[in-house]
């Protein structure tokens, strides 16, 4: 089980790399924003898998809840900014 979870962790890191490619390469700013959202979802999952791997889920789960809430604030602010920028 430990080995399997480690493989899952590495695979998730590689997937984050795929999203990072989109963030770095994206033709428009919205592609970057989208990649950022994908990265944060992966990071939430990665944290929980990490918690299972260390068998200390009670510590890691709180950070992932915090991530999920903060991600909303950051992304909404970003989307709102981009919306207003084009209007003015």
Partner 1 sequence: MDILSIIFIVAGLFFLIVAAIGVIRLPDMYSRSHAVSLTDSLGAFLMLVGIALHEGLSINMLKILVVLVLLYILNPVIAHATVRAALRSGLKPLEKENS
Partner 2 sequence: MIFSFEIPLLLLLLVTAAGAILVKDLMSAVLLLGSYSFFLSLVWAWLGAVDVAFVEAVVGAGLGTVLFLLTLFGTAPKDTRLRRPPPSLATLIVFPLLGVLLLYAADDLPEFGNPKSPASVHISPTYIEQSYQDTRTPNVVTAVLMDYRSLDTMGETVVIFTAGIACALLLRRNS
Partner 3 sequence: MATRSRPVSSEFLFFKAMALFVFWVLLSASFEWIHLGLGLFFSFIVAWLNSGHSPFVPKFRLWLRILLYLPWLFYKIIQSSLHLSKLILHPALPIVPHMISVESKLRHHAAVVLLGNSITLTPGTITVEVDGSNLIVHAMDKNDEAAIKQMESKIAHIFKDEEPDL
Nearer to partner 3, 65 or 72 (CB): 65
| SS3 annotation, the chain | CHHHHHHHHHHHHHHHHHHHHHHHHCCCHHHHHHHHHHHHHHHHHHHHHHHHHHCCHHHHHHHHHHHHHHHHHHHHHHHHHHHHHHHC
Which residues of the shown chain bind partner 3 in the complex (CB under 8 A)?
A: 58, 62, 65
Q: How many residues bind partner 2 (CB under 8 A)?
A: 37
Positions in the binding site for partner 1 (CB under 8 A): 1, 4, 8, 11-12, 15, 18-19, 21-22, 26, 28, 30-31, 33-35, 37-38, 41-42, 44-45, 48-49, 52, 57-58, 61-62, 64-65, 68-69, 71-72, 75-76, 79-80, 82-83, 85-87
């Amino acid at each position: 089980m430990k080995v399997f979870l480690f493989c899952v962790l590495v695979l998730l890191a590689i997937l984050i790399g795929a999203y990072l490619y989109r963030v770095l390469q994206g033709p428009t700013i919205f592609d970057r924003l989208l990649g950022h959202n994908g990265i944060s979802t992966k990071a939430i999952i990665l944290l929980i898998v990490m918690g299972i791997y260390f068998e200390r889920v009670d510590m890691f789960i709180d950070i992932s809840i915090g991530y999920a809430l903060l991600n909303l604030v950051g992304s909404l602010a970003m989307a709102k900014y981009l919306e207003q920028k084009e209007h003015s």
